[in-house]
Amino acid sequence: MMESLAISLVDALPVLSGVPLWTITLLVMVMVAAVVLTFALTYSGLATYVERKVAGDIQARVGPNRVGPVGILQFLADGIKLLLKEDIIPAKADRFLFVLAPYLVFIGSFAAFVVVPFGVGLIASDLNIGIYYLMAITSLVVVGVMLAGWSSNNKWALLGGMRAAAQIVSYEIPVGMALLPAVLIAGSLSLQDIVRSQGGLFGIFGWNLFHNPFTFLSFFLYYVAALAETNRTPFDIPEAESELVSGYHVEYSGIRFAFFFLAEYGDMFVVSALATACFLGGWHVPFLDAEALPALWGNLLSLGVFLGKTLSLVVLMMWIRWTLPRLRVDQLMRMAWKYLVPLTFVNLLGVSLWLLLFHGEGIPRMIASLFG
């Protein structure tokens, strides 16, 4: 992917023909990484603003409205504030781990952007084990959170870290199980392949969401489990302001705190993007065939559609956060092991049987074949 980009760059600019290919490939890689990171950071900043606005609206308040028009520059002001704040490391903290933890969380969350299929050709790296990679790399967050809790040498932080580990490990299982139907239907772990398998039928009825009743349920199971995996209310027991002060990042300040914060919003995007790619047709534009369009328009339209779907899911997460109260620890565990895990198993079995019985045909496609 990167090499082909580099080759096309050399073709376009004959000046570069003397330069060895690997340098250009490296350059392209760095540039793509910079673009993706810039997008991720801008999105995270804006998401904090939107979150506060949504919270304000739901609580009959206004939300930030002073910095810039309707407060849209609030996130920049917050970012500058966090950059300028004193960076405090507790005296009894394990300095190395304390410093390392926010980077692990940040990497775990933002490395996942690599395989997010933004558009027809807009994917930093179309790994053939995309979903697997994504699940694996987001697990790095657990390590970071645990380290943060442990190294702070603070009982609240430690409790928060332990809870986070228990929670994320528990919810990985239903998340994986709920995603498997999409993998089964596409027959591939690559996210681009999964998205492509949902094309046709006006770009809406090809979605895995409508493939069969089990996939429909699967989407909601995935969404609930993913919500828990991102440590957001109602599943935010690792942070739990009212009982653990703010959990694993209680001792963090300044830019290190900002890393945790950005990672949380990055996680939200990744999880929503995965839901979009696996169940909501990814970048497929309704009523149009994005892949048949000219490259520029196809990419732009599909990017817009993908971001639209994903950001709607992000807003839905915020809406849920400001609606529901926090679950107790035992309730959280019960929900994972007694409800989500069995349901996703049954669901997976259902999808498998469906695919076996109907030779991989979904309900919309059967109806379409009835009409010829």
CB of 272 to another protein, least distance (A): 17
Q: Which of residues 35-54 bind another protein (CB under 8 A)?
A: 54
Smallest CA-to-CA distance from 152 within 78, 248, 10, 35 is with 248
What is the maximum alpha-carbon separation in the chain?
Answer: 73
Is residue 58 close enough to count as binding another protein by CB under 8 A?
A: yes
Is residue 328 close enough to count as binding another protein by CB under 8 A?
A: no
Both tokens assigned to 337:
């092991």
CB of 332 to another protein, least distance (A): 13
x/- track of binding to another protein for residues 286-325 (CB under 8 A): ---------------------------------xx-xxx-
CB of 335 to another protein, least distance (A): 8
DSSP 109-140: HHGGGGG---SSS--S---TTHHHHHHHHHTH
x/- track of binding to another protein for residues 65-84 (CB under 8 A): x-------------------
CB of 235 to another protein, least distance (A): 13
Q: How many CA atoms lie within 13 A of 277 on its CB side?
A: 30
Nearer to another protein, 319 or 337 (CB): 319
Is residue 57 close enough to count as binding another protein by CB under 8 A?
A: yes
Is residue 21 close enough to count as binding another protein by CB under 8 A?
A: no
Nearer to another protein, 229 or 251 (CB): 229
In angstroms, what CA-CA distances link 200 with 20, 98, 216, 344? 42, 50, 18, 27
Nearer to another protein, 103 or 322 (CB): 322
For helices 74-84 and 21-58, what crossing angle results, to 10°? 110
Nearer to another protein, 270 or 318 (CB): 318
Is residue 59 close enough to count as binding another protein by CB under 8 A?
A: yes
Nearer to another protein, 60 or 91 (CB): 60
- Residue pair 364/201 in contact (Cβ under 8 Å)? The answer is yes
- Residue choice 26, 35, 37, 61 for contact with another protein (CB under 8 A): 61
Is residue 346 close enough to count as binding another protein by CB under 8 A?
A: no
**Which sign, positive or negative, has the C-alpha torsion 317, 318, 320, 325?**
positive
Is residue 132 close enough to count as binding another protein by CB under 8 A?
A: no
CB of 364 to another protein, least distance (A): 24
Q: How many chain residues bind another protein (CB under 8 A)? A: 15
Where does residue 310 rank: exposed (0-12), middle (13-18), buried (19+ CB within 10 A)? buried
Is residue 103 close enough to count as binding another protein by CB under 8 A?
A: no
Distance CA 14, CA 2 (A): 18
CB of 363 to another protein, least distance (A): 22
CB of 336 to another protein, least distance (A): 13
- Residue pair 54/318 in contact (Cβ under 8 Å)? The answer is yes
Smallest CA-to-CA distance from 200 within 291, 279, 126 is with 291
Is residue 60 close enough to count as binding another protein by CB under 8 A?
A: yes
Query: Helices marked H in the chain — which ranges?
Result: 2-12, 21-58, 74-84, 95-110, 130-138, 140-151, 155-186, 191-196, 213-229, 241-244, 254-279, 295-321, 329-334, 341-357, 363-370
Upstream peptide bond of 69 is cis (omega within 30 degrees of 0)? no
Is residue 330 close enough to count as binding another protein by CB under 8 A?
A: no
Phi, psi of 32 (to 5 degrees): -60, -40
CB of 290 to another protein, least distance (A): 31
Distance CA 352, CA 180 (A): 10
CB of 239 to another protein, least distance (A): 20
CB of 338 to another protein, least distance (A): 8
Is residue 339 close enough to count as binding another protein by CB under 8 A?
A: yes
Rule CB under 8 A: which residues touch another protein? 54, 57-62, 65, 319-320, 322-324, 339, 343
